[in-house]
Amino acid sequence: MITYRPKKISLANTPTPLRLLGKVSEQLGGPRIWVKHDDATGSALSGNKVRKLEYVVAEAIEHNCDTLITCGGLQSNHCRATALVAAQLGLNAHLVLRGRKPAEADGNLVLDHMAGAEISYYSPAEYIQRLPEIFSKLSEDYLALGRKAWCIPTGASDEIGIWGYIDAAYELYGQLHQQSLNPRYIVCATGSGGTQAGLSLGMHSLGYSGEVVGMAVCDSEEYFLRKARKDMHGWQHRYGAEDDVASVDVDGVPIKTLANYIGPGYARTYPEMLDCIKWLARTEGIVLDPCYTGKAFYGLVEEIRSGRWSEVEDIVFVHTGGIFGLFPYRAELF
């Protein structure tokens, strides 16, 4: 058990509900599928990033920062969440977005503007090559203006942000215990790795005997193994003065990733996945997005259909949000 927690700001509506998908489970004829509704952590400020920001932004405020700088794609859920958190707390947000400024904003980008975030656009090549440099230049510019900026890494996935999903693991564990459930798998989309790392670490520390499975939306199995391990080591290094943190065998935490449902690439779709999104919406009234949760849920369904997970009794799908990212795909969906 990890009882220590660093300072956090309460931003997310938690606990989020755990609900059985009765119809979908029956139609697949396999395990019972439960949804952990982290898409319901808020309204506009919803999804998995809010849980990580509770800790990351507390740290920024602790350092007397008045500006949050972060980065992501044009449709980044993380950037949208950061922009809204900044507005709520009276801070400034500066978003470094990968891609050309679109003629018309859509989805998350509409909300970035609504929240009053400062936005800089960079070509993918420049973004990949120069991101650290862009961050330090912006920080210096703000310093020259008498302001103090805090840089949040991609997806708020670092040794601080993973606390958000350690919390989520403890919350989920309590809900499972209450209903006497011991799911064989807990499935989430994985992109910057923090959700997967926090869940894996949290569940392991509770003695969970099943597997947390990250469904990759980009990169490879090896990438997520390295990234999750790095964040866990960073976490132990940073908070290791606490006995319950120091005593976690970080290298013994299983990190499981399936990378065969990415399709043509990050944020790119394929028909079977889009059909799965529509099927879930029509069958259960649950809306997924094509970039993250659609691929993760499609992967879960395929693992059941293939027979690999058919002998299992219960599976939990962590719905990490992303609803606003659906709208830019309207033409591909219908």
Ligand X SMILES: *Cc1c(COP(=O)(O)O)cnc(C)c1O
**73 contributes a contact to ligand X by CB under 6 A:** no
**47 contributes a contact to ligand X by CB under 6 A:** yes
Catalytic residue flag (residue 200)? no
Say how far apart CA 202 and CA 223 lie, in whole Å.
20
Active-site entry in 25, 46, 76, 157: 76
The binder of ligand X chosen from 16, 25, 92, 192 (CB under 6 A): 192
147 φ, ψ (degrees, to nearest 5)? -115, 165
Query: In the bound complex, which residue of the shown chain has the CB atom lying closest to ligand X?
Result: 322
Q: Are strands 149-151 and 256-258 parallel, antiparallel or unpaired?
A: unpaired
Task: Give the nearest distance from C-beta 241 to ligand X in angstroms.
Answer: 26
316 φ, ψ (degrees, to nearest 5)? -110, 130
163 sits in which H/E element: helix 163-178
Task: Give the nearest distance from C-beta 289 to ligand X in angstroms.
Answer: 6
The binder of ligand X chosen from 73, 153, 193, 263 (CB under 6 A): 193
The binder of ligand X chosen from 169, 321, 324, 326 (CB under 6 A): 321
Stretch that binds ligand X, among 23-31, 100-108, 188-196, 246-254 (CB under 6 A): 188-196
What is the DSSP code string of 29-75? TSSEEEEEEGGGS-SSS-STHHHHHHHHHHHHHHTT--EEEEEEETT
Sketch the per residue contact string, 286 through 305, with ligand X: x for CB under 6 A, - otherwise: ---x--xx------------
**190 contributes a contact to ligand X by CB under 6 A:** yes
Give the closest residue to 167 by CA, choosing from 19, 14, 57, 320: 14
Q: Taking the chain, what is the end-to-end CA distance rounded to the nearest angstrom?
A: 47
Residues sharing a CB contact under 8 Å with residue 146, sequence separation 6 or more, in sequence order:
none
How many residues sit close enough to ligand X to count as binding (CB under 6 A)? Answer: 20
Is the CB of 122 or the CB of 324 nearer to ligand X? 324
Site for ligand X in 121-160 (CB under 6 A): 155, 157
Say how far apart CA 329 and CA 334 lie, in whole Å.
9
Task: Give the nearest distance from C-beta 198 to ligand X in angstroms.
Answer: 8
Query: What positions carry a catalytic annotation?
Result: 76
Residues that bind ligand X (CB under 6 A): 47-48, 77-78, 155, 157, 189-196, 289, 292-293, 320-322
